[in-house]
Each structure stands twice: as C-alpha cells, then as structure tokens.
Structure 1
Amino acid sequence: MNNALLASAAAGYVAALSAAGERFPAELPVSIPVALRRHGTSNNQVGVMLVRLPLALPDPDTRLRLIAERTRADKRRAREQGTLEFMRGPRGARFMDRVARRQHVVAGFITNVPGSPDLLCLAGALVVAIWPVGVLAANVRLGTAAVSYAGRLQCGIHFDETTVPGAVFAIAMRDELTRLAGHRV
C-alpha cells in the first residue's frame, strides 16, 4: 500500500504542477516517516526516509516499480540510521523549526498508517470512519496522509491553497489509486 500511495502522490504532483503552469522536475523528494526498532521506554520510535518520486516517467506501472525498488533500499538505510536523540527534545525541535523554514530538501510529507481491519467502538459509539491529517510544516506546502480502517483507505490532503492547486492533486491521486486497485503490477 505504501508504494501505491507514493505512486499516486507522484501522479498528483505531476497534475498539480502542470495545472499551476510549472515545469516539474524528473524527481521530487518527499519525506516519509519510518517505524524504527523500539529502544528504551519510548513506544513510538520514528525515523525519516527521503524518497525521490519519479515524475518524468510517463508509464505509471514503471513508476510504481521504481518506487518499490527505491523504498526497499531506502527504508533499510533509514532504519539503520535511526534518528538523532537531540531532535526529540525541545531544543532539537526549535533548531529544526528554524532550519526547516529555509529548507530545500523535501517538497512534501507523505504518511500511511495501517489501522484496524475491524470496526471499533469509542465510548460505546461505533467508529464508522477515520480521516487522517496531512502535515504542513515549515516551507512545505503539501502534506498527504492515509489510514486504512475496516477495509477502506481514507486519504487526507492538506495544502496551501495560495500556492498549490490541491483539488487537482487530489483528483489525480484518487484516479491513480483507483487504477492501481484494479490490477496487480
């Protein structure tokens, strides 16, 4: 699912950049969280993986295969690298906030969280859907989040409407996810 989400986001970026009249690069780097092995008392060990989405490939199936190859290798490296302990505290957060405002490393954030395959209840009420919230931070203007729950995939796309044609991104992403769900590559 992660690779299909990334491939559909690549289709979204191509559509959005084209709609904005901008030339799109051959590759666009995005930041993806990666679960790390647990150490110490923290239950949520997360690192970061940079994935270069291939935008210039005209064949979407080739794009998906290339993304799958890249993420296999990149995920292993990200897990080995881990995260810097310094970044977990308030000083690290302030430092990263200052640096991130001028960064030119990533163009977007994309995350996918597997949820429960079964319906859940919260305070006695049936939870019928879960909607994820994509992150916008620093100078990144597009964030995509996905969560699977009870056999459905929900995507949340958050964007700066003054600079990103987000509706175009969302439609292209939806169409590509629908296409990918129809056959195996």
Structure 2
Amino acid sequence: MARGIPDTVLLGPRSAHHGVSFVDVDLVGVAAHAHRRGASVNDSLLAAAAGGYRAALIAAGEEVPPELPVSVPVALPRRNEANAVGVMLVRLPLAASVDDRLEGIAAQTRTAKIAARAQGTLELMRGPVGAHLMNRLAKHQHLVGGFVTNVPGPAEPLALAGAPMTHLWPVAVLAANVRIGVAAVSYAGRLSCGIHVDSEFIDRAAVATAFRRDLALLSR
C-alpha cells in the first residue's frame, strides 16, 4: 500500500490511555481574521491543528517534515434525508508561520472541497464487507497523519431540561492507526475545540499548548 508518511509517533497501534484537552476562542475574531486572509474558520482550525501536530513531533524528538497530510470530512448533499460525508485531504504546512499556514491551507481547500464533493462518498464503504476491509487496511495506512473535523453548531444558547448550556465540547474519534484527532464545533459565538490523543505516545500538554497559542493568534 502507498506510504506517503514515514514511520512516526503520530501513527501506530493505540493504547488504552487516552487524553483530551479543550480549547475555545471567540468565533467572531477567528472569522474576521480568516476573512482578511481569504480563508475560512475551518482553514483557521486546520492552521492551529498544524501547530499541534508539529509540537507532538518535536516533543517525541522526531524530525518535523515540511507538511503533514490529514483527513478532513466534507458534507455532501443529502441522500434520502440521510447525512452524507466525503473526505478531503489537506497537506498542513508545519514549518511556516501561522498566517502563512492559513493562506497555504486556504489555497488548498478552495479546490479540494469541490473535488471531494464531486467524488462523493466511497460506495465500497456502504456495505459491511467493504467497511470491514477498509478498517483492516486503515490500521496500517500511511496516507494521513491525523483527523481534523469542524461542525457548525447553534448560534444561540440552548437549555437542557431548563438549565442553560454554557459550553458545548466535541471529542474527535481516534480511528485506524491515528493517534491525534482534532474536532471543533461553533456554539453561541465561541469556537470550541477538543484535542483527543493517545497519551501513551503523544505529549498532550505540548499539543494543546501549541494549538491554543496558534488559535489565539488566528483570532486577533
């Protein structure tokens, strides 16, 4: 199978020891900063995630490559009222400054989203046999080094059983052989992010610190 990524701490069998860090930021600030750079909020999330992946490599004593491909889900037109999701491959620049990262990512996603939506979902994955085969192959893949996802949430505050919901935190799924996943959801004017790692192999504090720093820069 194709190996686009060399052996790295970011990929491999996962342990039972996981950890999650939560970071949130003003959504209006992120959107305004992104707009000035010709980018989107999702591009900003990816730029901050790049800083986190870079920190994980440095903490593990590994060489930092110029870029790291990650898998990003893309919403597709609904089929029979069911949600459909495609996949966009984005190569995160790891050596660039945060704003250069943002602009480079935006240049990729402008065309990659269109291509992902045109391709649609993998028909092979619709059946249990295909899904089982893909799962086995994914445990040894070297095509992507991480998962990053962003979901638009409610713009207005919600209540649960009469109690105000002050925060909404997402947790990314770790699948295949990937050891870091980043998820974000917008809620009531905030962009809330969850960084899920296999803490047996990944320095969670280092990843969260770099991600928080870069996301703050991207909201100014």
Q: Please report the TM-score for the alignment, with normalisation by the length of structure 1.
A: 0.93
Corresponding residue SS for 2:82: coil
Corresponding residue SS for 2:185: strand
Whether 1:51 and 2:94 are equivalent positions in the alignment is no
- CA deviations over 1:77-100 (Å, ceiling 9, x no partner): 000000122212322221111111
Q: Could you tell me how far 1:110 is from its partner in structure 2?
A: 0.4
Corresponding residue SS for 1:12: helix
Corresponding residue SS for 1:143: strand
CA distance in 2, matches of 1:126, 1:88: 39
Q: Could you tell me how far 1:63 is from its partner in structure 2?
A: 1.2
* 2:60 matched residue in structure 1: 20
Corresponding residue SS for 1:170: helix
- CA deviations over 1:115-142 (Å, ceiling 9, x no partner): 0110112333322211101110111000
CA distance in 2, matches of 1:27, 1:45: 28
Partner AA of 1:143 in structure 2: G
Whether 1:158 and 2:196 are equivalent positions in the alignment is yes
Relative CO higher for 1 or 2, CA cutoff 8 Å, sep ≥ 6?
A: 2
Whether 1:108 and 2:146 are equivalent positions in the alignment is yes
CA distance in 2, matches of 1:66, 1:73: 12
CA distance in 2, matches of 1:84, 1:16: 31
* 2:72 matched residue in structure 1: 32
Partner AA of 2:166 in structure 1: V
Structure 2 gaps, min length 5: 1-40
* 2:7 matched residue in structure 1: none
Q: Please report the TM-score for the alignment, with normalisation by the length of structure 2.
A: 0.79
Q: Does the CA contact (< 8 Å) of 2:48 and 2:214 recur in 1?
A: yes
Partner AA of 1:44 in structure 2: N
**How many pairs were matched up?**
180
Q: Does the CA contact (< 8 Å) of 2:98 and 2:218 recur in 1?
A: no
Structure 1 gaps, min length 5: none
